[in-house]
Structure 1
Amino acid sequence: MGKLVMGLGALLILEAAADAKTIRVKPGPDAGTRLQAALIAAQPGDRVRLAEGVYRLTTGLSLDVHGVTVEGAGAGRTILDFSAQEGAGEGLLITSSNVWVTGLTVRDTRGDGLKSKGSDRISFTDLEVVWTGGPKPTNGAYGVYPVSSTNVLVERVKVRGASDAGIYVGQSRNIVVRHSVAEYNVAGIEIENSMNADVHDNVVRHNTGGILVFDLPNLPQMGGHSVRIFRNRVVDNDTPNFAPEGNIVAEVPVGTGIMVMANRNVHVFDNEVDGNASAAFMVIAYAKPFASEGYHPLPRDVVVRDNRVGRNGFAPAFPGGAEIAAALGGMLPPGMWDGVTRWTSAGKSHSDTVNIWFKDVPAVSLGLGRADASPATARPQPHVAPSAPAVAEPAAVVLPADQPGRG
């Protein structure tokens, strides 16, 4: 039998179950107050169920209770509308673990759409995050944004219009991003400063750049490695870069297919890559000065193999790209490595062997040598790969058996 609970001046209807309860919320006046009250009232094992309709919210929501499911009636049916949001916070910020968010559309947040921080076993499934005004630098930075989290699942999610990355997983471990669509963002999908990630069976189209695997300095977790990018469709990434000035992705050239920067043991295979004007595959060093002790700015042990590659590299938009393409007959080959093997940090010079392995596609080294070299000094020449990959493919990511929403 159900019971009534008062919280924050809002009436919540709790339906008792054998080992958990369902808190039902409907749209209407004071929807934000009532929904936040439900998230506060929830206990581990509870389900916060949002009825179909539009919830017009003026402030962001937060959840800090472990083991809660937030469930709508389906993307496009349950809509959290933040178009009148005050401030620049997230739509929903989750700082607890064993949480599943599913069946919602999040619309027009001032900040990020859905964010988890410090979570373990966090799942985002069957969701949509969209900025309805089209690509604009005033849109929120990230659509779905797990950061500093472990055991991350992003599945059947669609993001459109993020001014940084549609689906971004940063400083996290054990990650699966699959069966999702990212379009009209600056970056479609980005894996940054993270370890052990599988990104597969996604459609990534009409972004500035398709799939990015980065490692950046000056962050609590550095040394990203062991990423597999496979069975994705990365096509027609042609949206002009609309990132706010100063953002690292503001430097991503329009028409980038798959880019690996300063990350280790990244395997890119069995993808369809077509219609990307700058390049199909870009493998580059982090070229800016940095002071992070232990940071390694070079990509290492990158394998690009067995992909289905169409027409790419026909109008490269990065500095010096047009000149390099002209020197190569008017078009870049599918694979491009900047040729950097040396860098300087803390006044000392460093070098390393990178092992960039392209299989079955032509590739070029720009021959820059140093991370701080000007693109004007590029001396493009065919890249001669090692005879075989230097390291084995990373193991498949396995999420815990009790991961919420795990299919």
Structure 2
Amino acid sequence: MIRTLLAATALCCSMPAAAKTITVEAGADAQERLQEALILAEPGDVVELGAGTFELTDGLSLDVDQVTVRGAGMDKSILSFAGQLGAGEGLLVTSDDVVLRDFAVEDSKGDGIKSKGADRIVYHAIRVEWTGGPKASNGAYGIYPVEASDILVQDSVVRGASDAGIYVGQSKNIIVRRNTAIENVAGIEIENSFDAEVTENLVTGNTGGILVFDLPNLPQMGGHNVLVARNAIIANNTDNFAPEGNIVASVPAGTGVMVMANRNVQVVENAMINNGTTNVMVVAYTQSFDDPNYDPTPRDVYVADNVYGRAGFAPDFEGGKQLAAAFGGALPAIVYDGLGKGLIVNDAVQVLNLGLTRVGQPPTEAKPSLHRQDGAGETVALSPIVLPASMEAALK
């Protein structure tokens, strides 16, 4: 009998505590109460944010696995960092299997929400905004998952980031869908990542709409297999307000989609309208680098079945206005620097090939020519991204 009781006691003590909901309301001492809730949360717990504005003076952090942070809605539960004293992110997540949903982050001094090494993370119905409009002093990234696997960013809104509204870097197995990115330097950026889908988003009023980049001298390089499909990429003509020295500071205002040094990228079934430089730009990375394993040229980029509106009426790069004048006052819907290999365009639009012959060559040395490549070739469809079932289940 005693042995049975001891065994039952040991079993009870070894079982995890039942999942619980920790509710935090706005009001006095919100900083301490909310950070304490994030520290004391255990796997399976929900940290519930009440409606109202949480006035915060420092960044928040979460490093417990399997925690959900849930608000009352992206316009109801607001984490305001307008009084933030440090320069870090609003919220930093470093744990796995986390769900962030239904709340807002405003006016953080650094990035809005950053997750690093956080696998199987969900951003759902999140709003990140710098309420003073586009400024170089705004935080760099709005929603910023990096160095992770299995990432879902959906139904969210980001405005005012001085680098990228939604940025996914050095990661794999990624879905970015049904989001709205407004008045950022880059609306959505996929960088040095493998296997990503960017679908059904609205990107408007940014400097560049959707960027697919691969950069040198990073732990993960060789970005590839990126689908950009069924997005509305409209009037991304905001002057570039990135701080000098940032990679995106070189993105021309008026760029719809920009593919740089990436491989096996498909740009299909998008609506691209009123982008002043061009609707699609395919180029090499032009800055100096010393990494022998890095290929700076774009390869196997497929553009097909898109809807094109007005474009190229205000090209924002060196020699762009002169080129536009030479081609009747506007650049074509697609601009390609001529480097790399495997650009296939199956749309009945003109392509401006700048005819560059070496990486880093200035556009002023271009030998441009126009091509119409309707029916120029086919490509193999990318495999659909499949996320773990647990991620979708966590949203129910």
Q: Is the aligned partner of 1:403 residue 2:391?
A: yes
> 1:79 Cα deviation (Å)?
0.4
> 1:19 Cα deviation (Å)?
3.6
1:265-280 matched pairs, under 5 angstroms:
265-280=264-279
CA contact (8 A) 2:298 2:339 kept: no
CA distance in 2, matches of 1:24, 1:406: 18
CA distance in 2, matches of 1:387, 1:250: 33
Aligned partner of 1:388 in structure 2 is 377
> 1:18 Cα deviation (Å)?
8.5
Q: Is the aligned partner of 1:82 residue 2:81?
A: yes
CA distance in 2, matches of 1:308, 1:406: 33
1:347-366 matched pairs, under 5 angstroms:
354-360=341-347, 361-366=349-354
CA contact (8 A) 1:74 1:104 kept: yes
Aligned partner of 1:28 in structure 2 is 27
> 1:298 Cα deviation (Å)?
0.6
Q: Is the aligned partner of 1:246 residue 2:233?
A: no
CA distance in 1, matches of 2:326, 2:345: 21
Give the residue type in structure 2 aligned to 1:376: T
CA distance in 1, matches of 2:129, 2:95: 24
Structure 1 stretch 291-300 or stretch 181-190: which is displaced more?
291-300
Aligned partner of 1:372 in structure 2 is 360
> 1:292 Cα deviation (Å)?
1.6
CA distance in 1, matches of 2:372, 2:204: 30
Residue-by-residue CA offset, 1:63-101 (whole Å, 9 max, x unaligned)? 000000000011110000000101110110000000000
1:181-330 matched pairs, under 5 angstroms:
181-330=180-329
CA distance in 1, matches of 2:344, 2:317: 22
Give the residue type in structure 1 aligned to 2:52: G
SS of equivalent to 2:390: coil
Residue-by-residue CA offset, 1:343-383 (whole Å, 9 max, x unaligned)? xxxxxxxxxxx100111221111001111212111011124
CA distance in 1, matches of 2:22, 2:68: 10
Q: Is the aligned partner of 1:177 residue 2:199?
A: no
CA distance in 1, matches of 2:126, 2:99: 11
CA distance in 1, matches of 2:372, 2:328: 19
Residue-by-residue CA offset, 1:198-219 (whole Å, 9 max, x unaligned)? 0001000000000000001111
CA contact (8 A) 1:106 1:128 kept: yes
Give the residue type in structure 1 aligned to 2:105: V
Aligned partner of 1:58 in structure 2 is 57
Aligned partner of 1:107 in structure 2 is 106
Which 5+ residue runs of structure 2 have no aligned equivalent? 1-15
Residue-by-residue CA offset, 1:105-147 (whole Å, 9 max, x unaligned)? 1000000001100011000001100001110000000000000
Give the residue type in structure 2 aligned to 1:145: Y
CA distance in 2, matches of 1:397, 1:369: 36
Q: Would you tell me which structure has more helix in proportion to its own residues? A: 2
CA contact (8 A) 2:345 2:376 kept: no
> 1:327 Cα deviation (Å)?
1.6
Aligned partner of 1:49 in structure 2 is 48
Runs of 4+ in 1 over 3 A off after TM superposition: 383-387, 404-407
Which 5+ residue runs of structure 1 have no aligned equivalent? 1-16, 342-353
Give the residue type in structure 1 aligned to 2:293: G
CA contact (8 A) 1:335 1:358 kept: no
Q: Would you tell me which structure has more strand in proportion to its own residues? A: 1
CA distance in 2, matches of 1:207, 1:116: 23
CA contact (8 A) 1:265 1:393 kept: no
CA contact (8 A) 1:154 1:177 kept: yes
Aligned partner of 2:143 in structure 1 is 144
> 1:35 Cα deviation (Å)?
0.4
Alignment identity in percent? 55
CA contact (8 A) 1:173 1:196 kept: yes
CA distance in 1, matches of 2:311, 2:384: 29
Aligned partner of 1:73 in structure 2 is 72
